[in-house]
Amino acid sequence: MGSSSAIGRRDLIRRAAAVGLLTVPSAGVLSACASGGSGGDKQVDKGKKSERNPLGVNETAPLDVVIFDGGFGQQYAKDAEAEYKAAHPGAAIKHSATPDIQPQVQPRFNGGTPPDLIDNSGAKQMDMGTLVAKKQLTDLNALLDAPSLDDPAKKVRDTLRPGVVEMGRFDGQETWILYYAYSVYGVWYSRTNLEKLDAKYPETWDEMLALCEKAKKKGIAGWTYPGKYPYYLPFSLYPFIAKIGGREVLDRIDNLEPNAWKDPAVKAAFEAYYELYKKGYILQGTPGLTHIESQTAWNEGKALFIPNGSWVENEAQKTTPADFRMAVGAPSSLDAARDKMPFGTIWACGGEPFIVPRNAKNPQGGMELLRIMLGKKSSQNFIKRVSSLTSFHGGTEGLSLPPGLSSCEEALAKAGQNIVNPRIQDWYVGLEKEKIGVAALGEMMAGRMTPDEAITTIQKFADQTRADDSVKKYRH
């Protein structure tokens, strides 16, 4: 996965382009692929539907799969492909993996020859909202209404965690995206390192600041984050905003409503985070760190906290000490008496967006591979391999979970219904990654912009997006 704050840059746009954050395609780029219509090679003939083959997969048609090669790696997909191959031995499978989805896959869309299944993830993902607006994707309701792999009496949609199906919709009832992983976002820490300071996870912001001061006196930073990738900070900041002002604040932000970013809850949250900078609680050099470098520094005990998602346990495993006892914490309470949501409120939602292009040669095969992946065997294989939950509900039964993933289950249980899911990250990818992160949050956390200036800057960018007729708009 990518990372958080754009802090060490004078020429923001140039440097952001250098790290690949400006490669998200514009509506203009994708309109080129839209103009191709169904001009690509014709789809393969469908196979005969049966109880064993509910989607009517052509038993001998090749399958073309592209996987994002990031925090989850690609072996889990290869393992599922082996299951597909066992069920359809006459089908050849082409497996590709890349960290650069948009540069590698977009030309194939433009040429009318897209893959059959794509894991459209990472800093260089294709803009999901634009793909939907330009009608480039296959409606996955056929998959969701198919019998599940383990229990034919249940539809696939009935085996998924709450909210996953809805995340794949933009307007109307079509489902364009299937989020395979189920990510828990928040403030990640080491239980061991907190115990060394005779501390527990801070449930209030005053406790957070006090703990950071205690750590500072021992030469340990309170926080670090991936300064070169400014969209990690929201992983803990957005649920913090919701906790202070209610989930409706995030809804207004998602809806691009006028002055949504000027809500008092946003200002309070920004000022709290800015205090981490002002009091010297951020690890020195953080603005120049990648996600791997910041995670390594955190693993080495140089900082107590890092905003991240649940893929971090797998991504950072090579540098994580055996006794680290990784865990995720929900945002601390700013004012427990006044906050609109209780401590435990957390951001959790589907991750790893899988799509089947409309012009894919073998869309039934792409959906069938997803059906296999959403079975218990593949889901548990994913959990064991990459220390992350999947969208398949109940996939952890009978498994011995690693510390970080176990803490995710604890956090979800504590949150109950107090789970938020900001949609701006998939409705307006360019706004979220390039503007909110690079040009504002990163600058604020580096001390080059005040909270008020950051809010004004972000609101301006949101207003520009709202006024841009070339950007398809979505609403709650």
pTM assigned to the model? 0.80
Is 29-182+350-400's fold the same as 184-348+424-467's?
A: yes
119-161 pLDDT tens trace: 999 888 998 888 998 999 999 999 999 999 999 999 999 999 8
> First and final CA of the chain: distance in angstroms?
26
pLDDT digits (tens, 9 = 90+) for 205-260: 999 999 999 999 999 999 999 999 888 999 999 999 999 999 999 999 999 999 99
Please tell me the distance from the alpha carbon of residue 424 to that of residue 38, in angstroms, as a whole number: 30
- Classified by CATH at the fold level, domain 184-348+424-467 comes out as D-Maltodextrin-Binding Protein; domain 2 (3.40.190)
Pick from 335, 357, 333: which is nearest to 345 by CA? 333
Rounded to whole angstroms, what are the CA distances from 153 to 158, 160, 178, 256? 10, 14, 21, 41
Domain 29-182+350-400 has CATH 3.20.20.370: no
8 A C-beta contact, residue 202 and residue 208: yes
Tokens of 149: 């792999």
Residue 276 near residue 223 (C-beta atoms within 8 A)? yes
DSSP string spanning 223-259? E---TTSTTSTHHHHHHHHHHHH-HHHHHHHHTT-TT
User: How far are the Cα atoms of 190, 306, 328, 459 from residue 405, in angstroms, in the given order?
Assistant: 13, 16, 9, 36
Q: How high does pLDDT run on average in the chain?
A: 90
pLDDT at site 116? 98
Question: Nearest 5°: CA angle at 356, between 351 and 362?
Answer: 145
What residue spans define the domains of the chain? Answer: 29-182+350-400, 184-348+424-467
Tens digits of residue pLDDT in 293-322: 999 999 999 999 999 999 899 899 999 999
